[in-house]
A and B are shown apart, each in its own frame.
Chain A
Amino acid sequence: MMEAGLIQAEGVDKIYNRGKPDEIRALTNVSLQIKPGEVVVLKGPSGSGKTSLLSLIGCMARPTSGRVLVRDKDVAKLPERFLTQIRRKTFGFIFQQFNLIRKADVLENIALPLFPCNMTMAETRERAEAILDRFGLSGKRNRKVHRLSGGEQQRVAIARALINNPEVLIADEPTAHLDRKLAEDLAEILSALHRDGKTVIIATHDPFLYDHPFVDRIIVMQDGRIEGVIPS
């Protein structure tokens, strides 16, 4: 066993709609290892398999063949219920489209991951308020999400990803809908998380992000395969 592998992929294939005419081979024989506290960027053009790899790492889907290990547990072999547990406790997700519940207010969106947890309503609220403060959203807690600006929505999405205090933050094209100024803010937030010792995995083809100094490693992807790792 390799030392301190937080996340490991071993010979992972992912095929969508297998055996159907619209079969898509998204990943072929992908192996990688991510250590705790690392900031890793998956870089590649769209369609190169970044999102598929992220969803496998984040336990949102199971590999067609090969193994994905999260803290040495084989994700493919875990029942759905445990997968949900891992997703909830280990990962925080920032999606390309933010994936907020548009008509719900900010507080509710941020507290979303806490609803099915065993904690009191007051605790839930406290935690949500604390994270609202941290992201400067306190004044907008009752605002409906679809009335917020893009940058504010982004911050709500990040706040939601962090509310469970996850070890690993997964971000899929986080700067796709942001202008330069907001992208810088995001980078600032991510590097702060890095300093806190969080593991960050970002899929992007935005040079601003992958050339940023806080990035430890860049994994270059092409056509569902890993082409190279910088620095190797």
Chain B
Amino acid sequence: MRHLKILEYALSSLLRRKYKNLSLVAVYAFTVSILASILFLTHALKREAVAVFSDAPDLIVQKVSAGRHDLIPTGYLDSIRTIAGVGDVHPRYWGYYFDAMTQSNFTFLGINENLAGLELVQGRMPAEKGECTIGQGVAQAQFTGVGDQLVLIDSRRRSISFRIVGIFDAASNLLSNDLVLMTQRGLREFFDFPSGRATDIVVEVYNPDEISTVAAKIKKMLPDTRPIAKAELFRTYDSVFNWRSGMMLTLFSAALVAFSILAWDKAAGISGDEKGEIGILKAVGWDIADILELKFWEGIVISLTALLVGLTVAFVHVFLFNAPLLTPVLKGWSVLFPTFRLTPYIDLYQVFVIALLTVTPYVACTVIPSWKAAVTDPEMVMRG
């Protein structure tokens, strides 16, 4: 009962400085919502990557020439097939294309002609060399749809037109936004691939535990290659959205510092007014513990409200509105940027960390400075 009454008094005391405290809650909630948005977004992307790439190739072998990624001789396929534990080995044909008209980069991918249709495609997969299936981003950049022609300039500066036979669903944007699928033959002709060369080689390894052994063997057998294991792919994605390396968070930490200064100023720098108030409370029979409890409640009310509002705003922002405030930061130079609807993976541990990182320091910087005022003799109030 006593606690509730002190809470009641804390609320009146906060309401007495309504505008100051409301603006504080607003700034605080905004800070929390940005922090939470970043964490929600990166966590969801990370989880999405981990979930989606579970069936990615076990091992990809690139050729490295003069320190750079080079086209790999298809002759390497036979060497790799001799390694024990290796299943299917086949070449991948893909590359990048800069579209001068839209100033955007596309990713071209050559596929087998007999590939079955996919669920996330409107239309079908390219079956002959003049056909292509494109991602939403490409379709939007080119203002095209199924049945239209996609006109591209090849390496001999000839314009080649492909008939669009399918477009990927928006739901797959995170994977397919900039893709242009064509048949392997079509792609090789378009890029004028030298015969006997592929972009890289996909290696199937029967036993997942042996992937690294196989990789080492390939590296030994073919010293000019760089095998990339599936585990490395996951590790890449783990660190891609690693918040410690995030520039967003670096920028954000500046905001955080600014907020800390504001909070410190507002919460910690207790004014003569507040000191007087503490003196009065002591004089009328409040204990030190009561006064500290009062300050504790004041801190909790502000920071808990800001936390809950901030988390709610962040959730709505990221998962219902697809993070419109963060995408410009995330987007950077990209001309094609996927509009994606994230699967709302929420990490409760993360929410807990946000709560801990925001509420505790604030409450501490409310309570601690009032300690000094609370332990002095209340006599000073008698002297005005």
Q: How far is the CB of B376 from chain A (nearest CB, A)?
A: 10
**Cβ of B284 and Cβ of A113 under 8 Å apart?**
yes
**Cβ of A116 and Cβ of B287 under 8 Å apart?**
yes
**Cβ of A93 and Cβ of B6 under 8 Å apart?**
no
Which A16-59 residues have C-beta < 8 A from chain B? 51, 54-55
The count of A-to-B residue pairs whose CB atoms sit within 8 angstroms is: 91
- With A54-B382, A121-B4, A121-B8 as given contacts, are A116 and B286 in contact (CB-CB < 8 Å)? yes
Q: What CA separation (Å) do A48 and B381 show in the bound complex?
A: 18
Interface residues as binary, A67-111 with B (CB distance below 8 Å gives 1, 0 otherwise)? 000000000000011001101110001011101110110001000
Residues of A within 8 A of B279 (CB): 99
8 tightest A-B CB contacts, nearest first:
A88-B285, A116-B290, A61-B379, A55-B379, A113-B284, A60-B379, A84-B287, A103-B16
Give B contacts to A, CB under 8 Å. 1-2, 4-6, 8-9, 12-13, 16, 276-277, 279-290, 375, 377-379, 381-384
**Which residue from chain B places its CB closest to the CB of A62 in the assembled complex?**
B377
**Cβ of B377 and Cβ of A60 under 8 Å apart?**
yes
Residues of A within 8 A of B4 (CB): 121
Q: How far is the CB of B309 from chain A (nearest CB, A)?
A: 25
Residues of B within 8 A of A121 (CB): 1, 4-5, 8
Please tell me which one of the listed residues B2, B282, B287, B381 contacts residue A95 in the complex, with CB atoms under 8 A apart. B381
Assess whether A160 is interfacial by the CB under 8 Å rule: yes
**Which residue from chain B places its CB closest to the CB of A120 in the assembled complex?**
B1
Please tell me which one of the listed residues A51, A96, A118 contacts residue B1 in the complex, with CB atoms under 8 A apart. A118
**Cβ of A104 and Cβ of B12 under 8 Å apart?**
yes
Assess whether A187 is interfacial by the CB under 8 Å rule: no
Residues of B within 8 A of A54 (CB): 382
Assess whether A124 is interfacial by the CB under 8 Å rule: yes
**Cβ of A93 and Cβ of B283 under 8 Å apart?**
yes
Residues of B within 8 A of A104 (CB): 12-13, 16
| 16 sample A-B contacts, Cβ–Cβ < 8 Å, listed by A number | A55-B382, A60-B382, A61-B379, A84-B286, A88-B284, A97-B384, A101-B277, A115-B6, A115-B286, A115-B290, A116-B2, A116-B285, A118-B1, A121-B4, A121-B8, A160-B284
Q: How far is the CB of A85 from chain B (nearest CB, A)?
A: 8
**Cβ of A108 and Cβ of B384 under 8 Å apart?**
no
Residues of B within 8 A of A117 (CB): 2
Please tell me which one of the listed residues B1, B6, B8, B283 contacts residue A99 in the complex, with CB atoms under 8 A apart. B283
Assess whether A222 is interfacial by the CB under 8 Å rule: no
Q: How far is the CB of B283 from chain A (nearest CB, A)?
A: 6
Q: How far is the CB of B118 from chain A (nearest CB, A)?
A: 64
Assess whether A215 is interfacial by the CB under 8 Å rule: no
**Cβ of A99 and Cβ of B381 under 8 Å apart?**
yes
Q: How far is the CB of A172 from chain B (nearest CB, A)?
A: 6
Q: How far is the CB of B279 from chain A (nearest CB, A)?
A: 8
Please tell me which one of the listed residues B6, B16, B378 contacts residue A116 in the complex, with CB atoms under 8 A apart. B6
Residues of A within 8 A of B383 (CB): 51
Please tell me which one of the listed residues B280, B287, B384 contacts residue A81 in the complex, with CB atoms under 8 A apart. B287
Q: How far is the CB of B182 from chain A (nearest CB, A)?
A: 74
**Cβ of A95 and Cβ of B12 under 8 Å apart?**
no
Residues of A within 8 A of B285 (CB): 84-85, 87-89, 113, 116, 164
Q: What CA separation (Å) do A116 and B287 show in the bound complex?
A: 8
Q: What CA separation (Å) do A49 and B12 show in the bound complex?
A: 37
- With A115-B6, A121-B4 as given contacts, are A61 and B283 in contact (CB-CB < 8 Å)? no
Q: How far is the CB of A84 from chain B (nearest CB, A)?
A: 4
**Cβ of A51 and Cβ of B382 under 8 Å apart?**
yes
Assess whether A119 is interfacial by the CB under 8 Å rule: yes
Q: What CA separation (Å) do A164 and B284 show in the bound complex?
A: 10
**Cβ of A116 and Cβ of B384 under 8 Å apart?**
no
Assess whether A182 is interfacial by the CB under 8 Å rule: no
Assess whether A112 is interfacial by the CB under 8 Å rule: yes
**Cβ of B284 and Cβ of A108 under 8 Å apart?**
no
**Cβ of B9 and Cβ of A93 under 8 Å apart?**
no
Residues of A within 8 A of B286 (CB): 84, 113, 115-116
